[in-house]
Amino acid sequence: MEKVIRFGVSIKPYLLKKFDKTIKKKGYKNRSEAIRDLIREKIITEEIFDPDVQSIGTLTMIYNHHEGNLTDRLLNLQHNHTEEILVTTHIHVDHDNCLEILVLKGKAKNILELADNIKAIKGIKHGKVVITNQTI
């Protein structure tokens, strides 16, 4: 097991009170775990700006499959990125709308570029990419 290092943090009382209230709502048992999660989040956020960092993530999108040739364009783009796309899940939300989730793996810049290209397709109503680092 890796050694744990303890360190102190100086913080204004009002900020600590807000922090404690927030972490209690989120279900953290202690401040240490909440602070570790904040540190991990910050590191991951910074690392995705390094174009060569290997990452894993998801793209969640919703679209109207009746919109022009959207489905064909979406499938063509996905078939051109088989190295980054590990799996897709397609859900029929209602008669018109579909929710699709892509699980992605590769360099952060490639994942973000693919997500941007998909979100830019006419007819995609909303898309959200989430990237994390495999090594954190």
pLDDT grade for 4, boundaries at 50, 70 and 90:
confident
Task: Report pLDDT digits (tens) over 27-83.
Answer: 999 999 999 999 988 888 787 777 778 889 999 999 998 888 999 999 999 999 999
pLDDT of residue 45: 79
Crossing angle of helices 108-119 and 70-79, rounded to 10°:
170
Task: Report pLDDT digits (tens) over 113-129.
Answer: 999 999 999 999 999 99
pLDDT of residue 68: 84
pTM for the whole structure: 0.75
Tokens at 123, concatenated: 């007819």
**What are the sequence ranges of the domains in the chain?**
13-47, 54-133
Place of tokens 């899940």: 89
pLDDT of residue 77: 94
Domain 54-133 homologous superfamily, CATH:
ACT-like. Chain A, domain 2 (3.30.70.1150)
